[in-house]
């Protein structure tokens, strides 16, 4: 029987059938593999949220928002197997009839429930009640990005820091026609090309300049480089650091329009700390942004070489040069903030005061993710950033930064809580001249800090987290901002 089978398989006709069968089997296997791969990809389409970088920039189309993103929560849960979770849903109507934001959102805090994180699913479905609109508010109508073509920004940085700063630059410079000149180290061609491509994608007008003259102070050399790269529309040269952040370009453009750019103007922000002021002097501090009008910049060209007798830090050299060789005097624009605050700057951001024109040191002296903070502006406009709304009881939402429980705000909401480290200044109230009125640190304040943001097609999801104790699971309050048209859709 075996011998007959061998003869059968060695017959030419049977061999062709056998080879054909092997080919069909191979094709079927490939098709099955593709189906499995496609199914796996479709099932795990939300797993991209587990990447913190993607979580801040992912744009979804036709995706249901009525779920808990377990992968996102696992990133911040410090290996906890569960969290206490609640969700607040804010619908926003953009209207031409907007007047002002209210101080309160007429909505109670949502109820928490336990969510398991030690399960395989990447998301957990929510009930209709959980995902229903909690409150609807009005916000200003959507406006076009401001034209900032009259502003030429200069920054001295490394290629690595420049690449890391592009998302922050995009918030204020993207699609505004503002130009940025970056003096950078030589680096490698691949990195430069990657930065150029990313800047183009973000609609940032970026030019990188390699400064070959190592004898010059690079910050002060911006005075020459910005003048050389001005064009017919340039009215202002602006010196910044890579961590200078402008929360609202519209506000900055509008405020700058109140100054006469045809006169020699030297505008900027002071340090907030008297100890720093006594050490460095009365001048525009570089991190807050230094604004020079074209007439003043032109005057500085004639004394550029002479000013190198002032051997000091760049912004101090600039101040000394202006004071010694021009009639221009420093104008303190109090909306520009150097933020020389060490440690915890939450008191500044939670103060409920008008939106700053600029902030600095947000990823060095203290941590405040300004890029994540600014995402919600796409839903409710720039003016809703850092807006402090009363929720219920002693709870407040500081939009884009924190959700706090603070009983002291009822007594006097005006003073800023002094949360940062003490000054080296020996006198009293070293921060009062710039940030006052102030109040003492509240040891009983409960603060849910923003830890992540997911930006989708017509909504922004903010994840605020509080880790109370090691023996209790973390608490998460997710605030979901959704665009709502005037017709109710």
| Per-range mean pLDDT, top range of 125-129, 332-336, 452-456 | 332-336
Q: Is the distance from CB of 360 to CB of 341 less than 8 angstroms?
A: no
pLDDT score recorded for residue 283: 98
Q: Which of 45-59, 248-262, 278-292, 321-335 has the lowest mean pLDDT?
A: 45-59
With a cut of 70, say whether residue 48 has pLDDT above it. no
Question: At 468, is the pLDDT very low, low, confident or very high (cuts 50, 70, 90)?
Answer: low
Measured distance CA(348)–CA(128) in Å, rounded: 37
Q: Which of 50-64, 267-281, 383-397 has the lowest mean pLDDT?
A: 50-64
pLDDT above 90 as % of the chain: 68
pLDDT score recorded for residue 411: 66
Average pLDDT, the chain: 86
pLDDT score recorded for residue 469: 60
Longest CA pairwise span in the chain (Å): 112
Residues paired with 67 in a beta bridge: 125
Q: Please compute the mean of the pLDDT values over residues 20-46 and round it to a whole number.
A: 43
12 or 400, higher pLDDT: 400
Measured distance CA(161)–CA(138) in Å, rounded: 38
Radius of gyration (C-alpha) of the chain in whole angstroms: 29
Measured distance CA(35)–CA(46) in Å, rounded: 19
With a cut of 80, say whether residue 16 has pLDDT above it. no
pLDDT score recorded for residue 38: 41
C-beta atoms surrounding 187 within 10 Å: 16
Report all structural domains of the chain as residue ranges with CATH numbers, in order of start.
Answer: 65-142+386-406+445-488 (no CATH), 151-332 (3.90.550.10)
Q: Which of 181-190, 224-233, 268-277 has the lowest mean pLDDT?
A: 181-190
pLDDT above 70 as % of the chain: 83
Q: Which of 28-42, 161-175, 252-266 has the lowest mean pLDDT?
A: 28-42
pLDDT score recorded for residue 213: 59
Q: What is the pLDDT of residues 138-197, one digit of tens each?
A: 999 999 999 999 999 999 999 999 999 999 999 999 999 999 999 998 878 999 999 999
Print burial letters for 307-341: b (CB count within 10 Å at least 16), e (below 16).
beebeeebbbbbbbbbbeebebebeebeebbbbbb
With a cut of 80, say whether residue 43 has pLDDT above it. no
């Amino acid at each position: 029987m075996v011998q007959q089978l061998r003869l059968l398989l060695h017959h030419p006709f049977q061999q062709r059938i056998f080879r054909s069968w092997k080919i069909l089997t191979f094709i079927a296997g490939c098709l099955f593999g593709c189906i499995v791969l496609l199914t796996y990809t479709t099932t795990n389409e939300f797993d991209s949220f587990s990447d913190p970088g993607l979580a801040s920039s992912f744009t979804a189309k036709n995706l249901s928002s009525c779920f808990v993103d377990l992968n996102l929560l696992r990133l911040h849960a410090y290996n906890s197997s569960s969290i206490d979770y609640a969700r607040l849903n804010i619908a926003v109507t953009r209207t031409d009839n907007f007047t002002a934001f209210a101080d309160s959102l007429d909505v109670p805090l949502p109820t928490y429930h336990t969510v398991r994180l030690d399960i395989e699913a990447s998301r957990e479905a929510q009930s209709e009640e959980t995902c229903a609109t909690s409150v609807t508010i009005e916000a200003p109508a959507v406006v076009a990005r401001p034209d900032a073509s009259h502003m030429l920004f200069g920054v001295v940085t490394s290629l690595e820091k420049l690449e890391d700063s592009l998302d922050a630059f995009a918030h204020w410079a993207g699609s505004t026609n503002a130009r940025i000149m970056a003096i950078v180290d030589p680096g490698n061609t691949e990195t430069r090309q990657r930065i150029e491509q990313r800047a183009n994608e973000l609609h940032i007008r970026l030019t990188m300049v390699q400064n070959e003259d190592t004898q010059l102070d690079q910050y002060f050399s911006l005075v020459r480089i910005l003048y050389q790269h001005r064009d017919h529309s340039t009215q202002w040269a602006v010196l910044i650091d890579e961590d200078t952040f402008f929360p609202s370009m519209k506000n900055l453009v509008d405020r700058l329009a109140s100054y006469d750019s045809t006169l020699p103007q030297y505008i900027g922000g002071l340090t907030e700390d008297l100890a720093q002021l006594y050490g460095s002097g009365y001048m525009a501090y570089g991190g807050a942004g230094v604004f020079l009008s074209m007439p003043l910049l032109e005057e500085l060209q004639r004394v550029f070489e002479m000013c190198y007798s002032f051997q000091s830090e760049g912004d101090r050299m600039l101040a000394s040069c202006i004071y010694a060789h021009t009639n221009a005097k420093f104008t303190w624009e109090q909306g520009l903030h150097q933020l020389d605050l060490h440690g915890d700057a939450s008191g500044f951001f939670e103060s409920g005061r008008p939106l700053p024109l600029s902030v600095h040191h947000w990823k060095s002296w203290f941590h405040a993710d300004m890029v994540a903070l600014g995402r919600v502006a796409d839903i409710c406009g720039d003016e809703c950033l850092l807006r402090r709304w009363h929720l219920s009881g002693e709870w407040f939402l500081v939009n884009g930064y924190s959700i706090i429980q603070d009983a002291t705000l009822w007594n006097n909401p005006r003073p800023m809580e002094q949360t940062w480290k003490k000054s080296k200044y020996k006198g009293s109230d070293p921060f009062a001249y710039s940030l006052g009125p102030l109040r003492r640190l509240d040891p009983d304040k409960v603060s849910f800090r923003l830890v992540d943001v997911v930006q989708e097609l017509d909504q922004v999801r903010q994840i605020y987290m509080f880790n109370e104790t090691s023996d209790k699971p973390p608490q998460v309050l997710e605030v979901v901002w959704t665009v709502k048209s005037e017709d109710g859709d």
